[in-house]
Amino acid sequence: MDIDVLRGQIRALKARITDLEEQVDGDAVRSRTVALMTQVSRRMAELARTLGLEHADTGVRLDPQRLTVVADLPSGPAYMSENEIGSGMNWVGYHLTAYLALQEYFIDHQRPVPSFIVFDQPTQVFFPEETPRDTEIGDLEVGDQDRARQLFRLMRDVVEEANGRLQVIVLDHADFSDDWFREAVVERWRGSEALVPAHWLSDVRDEPEDELDLSDTDDN
The string of pLDDT tens digits covering residues 121-174 is: 999 888 766 555 556 676 677 888 899 999 999 999 999 999 999 999 999 988
This prediction has a pTM of 0.76
For the chain, the domains span 1-86, 114-204
Which of 66, 98, 97 lies closest to 82, judged by CA?
66
Share of the chain above pLDDT 90, in %: 46
Beta strands per DSSP E along the chain: 60-63, 68-73, 76-79, 116-120, 167-171
Mean pLDDT value across the chain: 85
- pLDDT over 70 for what percent of the chain? 85
What DSSP assignment string belongs to 180-204? HHHHH------TT--SS-HHHHHHH
* pLDDT greater than 60 at residue 212: no
pLDDT tens, residue by residue, 88-119: 899 999 999 999 999 999 999 999 999 999 99
Average pLDDT over residues 12-37: 82
pLDDT at 42: 94
Q: How many residues does the chain have?
A: 220
Task: Tell me what the mean pLDDT of segment 11-28 comes to.
Answer: 81
Q: Strand, helix or coil at 28?
A: helix
Give the other-Cβ count within 10 Å of 80's Cβ: 20
